[in-house]
A and B are shown apart, each in its own frame.
Chain A
Amino acid sequence: MVERTPILNILTHAILLIGLVMLLLPLWIVFVASTHDFRTVNTVPMPLWPGTHMVENYIATWNQSDFGPKMLNSLIMAVGVTVGKITIAALSAYSIVYFRYRFRMVFFWLIFITLMLPLEVRIVPTYAVAANALRPYQEIINLTGLSIVLPEWRLLNSYAGLILPLIATATGTFLYRQFFLTVPEELLEAAKMDGTGPLRFFWDILLPLSKTNMAALATIMFVYAWNQYLWPLLVITDPNYGTAVMQLQRIVPGPNFGEPPRWHTAMAGTLMVMLPPLLVVIFMQRWFVRGLISQDK
């Protein structure tokens, strides 16, 4: 498609450039701050060009915060949440959109409402459940008067404890539902005419169609899980299970101690913690943009 719109093109580039600066400047400042020593970072005005202390800041932060194992834990958590979430969201959205049964809308609302109430506001009860994930069921059994004693399933200080409560949200289900609703009706009609069963339809037709959504959801979930910090801080007390973002919080002193924040190492840590999700975003982007473009051209 060839159109001549020179003024509009200049305007387009100007807007895109302004957007670029707006979005990148904070990251640039974080990077610059991570390359200076303590005193330089705290001078006014702060330098806007990188300094010479980058390598030492990064090495110091890496060792101090024990980032090796912490990054691994973050990775396990993020991948666990991503895979679990995609599986569960696709299945439940499929059930809600492609089947008709009495409690369908009830279930949808039950799931949808979980979007509303962030983990932060119900963290104590959630934490109590995490001490024994089977407790609700135990109490229900107790109510019925049966004397069955379930074993205790402790989620504290475990990967399951990091992962499961984070999967119990509706983002993915909602996304998949929106996507399934846009899939043409004719597909299912044709499939039914061919005698395709629900599982095959799901696996052979819907899932391949939803690759884009899956890539998007995987990116969202990976970033979401990697960046969690309040929940890991509560559910993990054993340093062997600590995550990278938890560590980050520790290299920035709290307000209690009047200690000046060591911005240079804190910013170095921020960048290192940021990097894995950033790489995922960059990698997944190429992949899923290709998927997007090939659809309609």
Chain B
Amino acid sequence: MLNKRLIGAAFGAAALFAAGTADAQAPARQRFDYWYGLTGQLGERMAEHCARFNASQTRFEAVCVGQGGYDRAEQNTIAAYRARQHPTIVQIYDAGTVNFMLSGVTYNAVTFARDFNMNINWADYFPGVASYYATSRGEMWSFPYNSSTAMLYWNRQAFGSIGRTEAPATWEQLERDMRALRAAGHACPMAIDFDIWQFEQLSAIHNQPIATQNNGYSGLNAELLFNRGFLPSHIANMKRWYDEGLMRIQTAQTGKTLVQAFADGSCALTITSIANHGVVGSTAARGMEWGVAMLPVYEGTARQNSLVGGASLWVMQGKSRGEYEAAAAFLDWIATPDEVRWMPSVTGYIPITTPAFNAMTAAGFYRQPQYEGREISIQSLTFTPPSANSRGIRLGNYTSIRSELQSELQAAFTGQKPVQQALDDAVARGNQILRRFEQTMRGRELP
């Protein structure tokens, strides 16, 4: 084993030497692999970001590969790691954080930044962004990248037709407005789907837990709480509104996602990520006036900060020093104020550091019509300091739990079972997933 490594190193050195002599004028750039999950328009922005990095300097080269979806990026990284063909950096969505934290194959961000003398000031990140990717002791293990939070999108013209100039701030107002919209002849007051993210967000802003053990931060033995307290009553409300025709389900399967149904003006309200702000802007029906607002809370609730969504960048173990240096240069570069500003200017994602946000505000970024309203997402994200219920979610194989919940909600909304029973069933299955995860990870502890 040792011998093999030595021989490998010798070959590597020889190859480097050969490369150096053969191309003395233009030394070969040090490459590193970076895999991202975003697709479509957002995927093109990712590729552009890499191209900008490669054009910005001559020492390093990022080889960026879109993997065709967040889930595929995670799956492919796992498979590639098993074959030791993994990338140096990979973009992993919020819900995959635990799997990577416990994998034992990542190079945690804090240590990496120290080892490679990066200029990251960890205190710059918005607390809500930092807490999602930090260990229970507060050390960040991945680099925040494209970040977002959930917003209420509302059609100003539709609201104008019922004499309103403000978005509803509470669910009670929202119900009243939906009824008014319906009465005024709007066929679809609000578009909904079964994306579980919105319920996580609502639990956070209502300061409600979704799992024991501080949403999982304190241990792998956490159990789900989706079926108690706030969520069952909220989902029962949604079901009631849906049955009354105040809400309509819009998913890719129905032919129009809720973003599309909102953008073409057919639905007056929806809840989706601020990341879609740019998409709505570029695809909205001509002349449509619309805005975004913070998610509504129920009356009598003290609003908490909302959760960060999106993805962060993980550094993987087992790469060469040269690749790590190149990766460090890239990570440093994307954290420079210019680049932190670039991302929100070409997508709907938010600036992730306080200084960048302040500089952008000062420069009048949010007064430009196409970006107007996006600052509300920062207000939502930083509304209060994160509490145990609003700092994030730390549950193993969380994407599977989401899909269990999603299936059960579909069953509830199509009338196959009552909401409470659907949630009970989803929690029972979700807890099974957590127990299997706990058993598989026996001997490992959450950092």
Residues of B with C-beta under 8 A to A130: 83
Question: Is B173 an interface residue when CB atoms closer than 8 A count as contact?
Answer: no
| Chain B 245-279 interface 0/1 with A at a Cβ cutoff of 8 Å (1 = within) | 00000011000111110011000000011011001
Residues of A with C-beta under 8 A to B69: 254, 256
Separation of A123 and B83 alpha carbons in the complex (Å): 13
Residues of A with C-beta under 8 A to B84: 131
Separation of A174 and B259 alpha carbons in the complex (Å): 49
Q: Is the CB of A250 within 8 A of B275?
A: no
**What is the number of residues of chain A that contact chain B, defined by CB distance less than 8 Å?**
33
Q: Is the CB of B252 within 8 A of A255?
A: yes
Q: Interface with A: B31-39, B109-117, B136-144, B377-385, which one?
A: B31-39
Question: Is A234 an interface residue when CB atoms closer than 8 A count as contact?
Answer: yes
Partner of A253, one of B40, B82, B83: B40
Question: Is A90 an interface residue when CB atoms closer than 8 A count as contact?
Answer: no
Q: Is the CB of B283 within 8 A of A38?
A: yes
Question: Is B388 an interface residue when CB atoms closer than 8 A count as contact?
Answer: no
Q: Is the CB of B82 within 8 A of A124?
A: yes
Q: Knowing A128-B82, A254-B68, say if A261 contacts B252 (CB, 8 Å).
A: yes
Q: Is the CB of B65 within 8 A of A259?
A: no
Separation of A232 and B272 alpha carbons in the complex (Å): 33
Question: Is A237 an interface residue when CB atoms closer than 8 A count as contact?
Answer: yes
Q: Is the CB of A249 within 8 A of B276?
A: no
Question: Is B232 an interface residue when CB atoms closer than 8 A count as contact?
Answer: no
| Chain B 85-114 interface 0/1 with A at a Cβ cutoff of 8 Å (1 = within) | 101000001000000000000000000000
Q: Is the CB of A156 within 8 A of B83?
A: yes
| Chain A 115-147 interface 0/1 with B at a Cβ cutoff of 8 Å (1 = within) | 000000001100110111000000000000000
Residues of B with C-beta under 8 A to A238: 63, 65
Q: Is the CB of B65 within 8 A of A239?
A: yes
Q: Return B260 CB to nearest CB of chain A, in Å.
A: 4
Q: Return A19 CB to nearest CB of chain B, in Å.
A: 27
Question: Is B314 an interface residue when CB atoms closer than 8 A count as contact?
Answer: no
Separation of A107 and B38 alpha carbons in the complex (Å): 45
Within 8 A of A (CB), among B380-439: none
Task: Kindly name the residue among A127, A234, A237 whose own CB sees the greatest number of chain B CB atoms within 10 A.
Answer: A237
Residues of A with C-beta under 8 A to B87: 237
Q: Return B92 CB to nearest CB of chain A, in Å.
A: 12
Residues of B with C-beta under 8 A to A39: 264, 285
Residues of B with C-beta under 8 A to A259: 40-42, 257, 259, 276, 279
Q: Return B197 CB to nearest CB of chain A, in Å.
A: 10
Q: Return B105 CB to nearest CB of chain A, in Å.
A: 15
Interface residues of B (CB under 8 A from A): 33, 35, 37-44, 63, 65-72, 76, 79-80, 82-85, 87, 93, 195, 251-252, 256-260, 263-264, 272-273, 275-276, 279, 283, 285
Query: What 19 additional pairs, Cβ within 8 angstroms, besides A257-B275, A260-B260?
Result: A39-B285, A42-B264, A127-B79, A127-B82, A128-B79, A131-B85, A154-B85, A233-B68, A234-B76, A237-B35, A250-B40, A250-B68, A251-B40, A253-B39, A253-B42, A258-B273, A258-B276, A259-B41, A259-B259
Interface residues of A (CB under 8 A from B): 38-39, 42, 64, 123-124, 127-128, 130-132, 154, 156, 233-234, 237-239, 246, 249-262
Task: Enumerate the 4 nearest inter-chain pairs by beta-carbon distance, A residue then B residue, closest first.
Answer: A131-B83, A253-B40, A260-B260, A254-B69
